[in-house]
Amino acid sequence: MASFNETKLLTVAEALQFDNRFTRELPADPNLENHRRQVTGACYSKVQPKQFEAPRLVAYSPEVATLLDLSGRFCASKEFVQTFVGNRLLPGMDPYATCYGGHQFGNWAGQLGDGRAINLGEVINQSGERWALQLKGAGATPYARMADGLAVLRSSIREFLCSEAMHHLGIPTTRALSVVTTGEPVERDMFYDGNPKDEPGAVVCRVAPSFTRFGHFQIFTSRGEIDVLRQLANYTICTDYPHLGVHSATEITEDTYTTWFDEVCRRTARMVVHWQRVGFVHGVMNTDNMSILGLTIDYGPYGWLEDYDPNWTPNTTDAHGRRYRFAHQPQIALWNLVQFARAIYPLVGKAEPLESSLDSYQKCFEQSWQSMMAQKLGFVEYEPTTDDALCKELDAVLQMVETDMTIFYRKLATMEFNDRQTVLDKKWSAHLVEAYYSPEQLTDDYETRLNKWLDDYGKRLQKDDLPTERRRERMNAVNPKYVLRNYLAQLAIDKAEQGDHTMVSELLDLLRRPYDEQPEKEEFAQKRPDWARHRAGCSMLSCSS
């Protein structure tokens, strides 16, 4: 493997100070051959990224580069492209793929692992923060099963843009440094219908404090490898949860494990509340796609809830059972936490504290959801005696006609409720017309029910007596104007597949300020066009990437 000229790139080598605690402290796979196999008794296998002949930068995130102390000059260089496509290794990089299992669509799948994710190592930035760097699509690993370890441009752009969009929305997430085309075709059957075709290959560099998932713990418990399970749990607590005050394995007790699990439950609850706030549907909430840090991880067949349908899932594989539909995400997160609890049970030895933490998930979710809805509706705080019914009725009203969730809340913030006497007499749907996909389908029954809800909403606002402008500011701070609508991502992909990467950068710039008006970008705030209703990539997506 070629290495950089250390004199030429000294500043880069100095910036990326690799610590690589994961590989230093956890057991390794002794087999150094990169062939598909079951890996036992080890947390990871050493691998080398595939070499690509003609990589080209599509885009990079300046914010993530800053996290890593990388200069803009380096990010615009050929060396950057060669590094983050996996062709060259900087001093200190120690590539590896990790072993994990998981439940997929509710069924135990056994060993899964990093089938096409290759970790370059962990860096400590100038602020003392630990960031793991991971390439997705840089080649096969021992965990690739029957796959090729590669990724295509469409899925790579979607992951890159959504990772950064979610961060700027204030949602816990992994980040993305860059997306690079490989210059080599990758064969994929997008619809699993027996018609594969070649697509442009690409590599995304993911960035996170940790990529550890629930499935990392499940695999060792399922195999009875409790010593390895304990090593991984101890490492995770000491490294990823330093605020718990435990700095070595000798300090860890059964109570430490339960305290840790309780925090994982709470972090997961808050993450899912954020998803519900903005209408994000993950699409494949398998236990191997659940972060131990409560981060949104693995952006595969995700989607944004444009017309408000709680039963919608973006995943074609999930179209029949709709296990991972929007409304079911809170329950699925709890189910996944139950599986995680079972995985670490051998370390705790008793069910009661784990069950108590699962109860805390539900309480934390309910409290966080109530606080979130109060913010979305502009209330000072949530008052269950009135707001439970108000939110339940709003949920029903939004489903009566095809209503764009994002636009509805932004338009609601602009409405005046100073003179409540006129509320029942006005045709308020005219004020909300931009949120309706088929305004001609509005019925008298809908108008009556909407007006009744708005009247009740106005009464509720009067109790808080907030100035209109203050209420509007509160609402617009949590109800985004711009989200990564599925059709916008697809338009950027269409252009990028033709060699034009400008729209990727344009969307990245737009989504840095999702709550701002950005008048010059108004076109990106419009609801999904009719041509995108059933087009692949704009409505539903498969796991093929």
224: CB partners within 8 A, 6+ apart:
none
Nearest to 157 by CA among 60, 91, 295: 60
Annotate 228-256 with DSSP letters as a single string: HHHHHHHHHHHHH-GGGS--SGGG--HHH
Burial environment of residue 441 by CB neighbours within 10 A (0 to 12, 13 to 18, 19 or more) = exposed
Enter the DSSP assignment of 27: P
Strand order in the sheet with 44-46: 44-46, 96-98, 117-124, 130-136, 197-208, 175-188, 56-60
Please report which residue ranges of 37-93 form alpha helices under DSSP H.
62-67, 72-75, 78-84
- Mode of pairing for the β-strands spanning 130-136 and 44-46: unpaired
Tokens of 493: 């992909």
CB 109 within 8 A of CB 102: yes
CB 301 within 8 A of CB 394: no
CA gyration radius, the chain: 24
Number of residues that make up the chain = 545
Nearest to 201 by CA among 141, 135, 144, 282: 135
Of 288, 298, 318, 387, which is the active-site residue? 288
> Using CA of residue 106, residue 110, residue 114, residue 116, what is the dihedral sign?
negative
Tokens of 93: 């990089």
Cα–Cα distances (Å) from 130 to 21, 86, 207, 214, in that order, read 10, 21, 10, 20
CB 110 within 8 A of CB 101: yes
Please report which residue ranges of 284-439 form alpha helices under DSSP H.
329-348, 352-377, 384-400, 405-414
**Dihedral (Cα; 488, 489, 492, 493), 10-degree rounding:** -140
Enter the DSSP assignment of 83: H
Distance of CA 46 to the CA centre of its chain: 27
Nearest to 484 by CA among 284, 314, 327: 314
Burial environment of residue 120 by CB neighbours within 10 A (0 to 12, 13 to 18, 19 or more) = buried
Rounded-to-integer distance, Cα 389 and Cα 62, Å: 44
Distance of CA 241 to the CA centre of its chain: 20
227: annotated active-site residue: no
Catalytic residues: 288
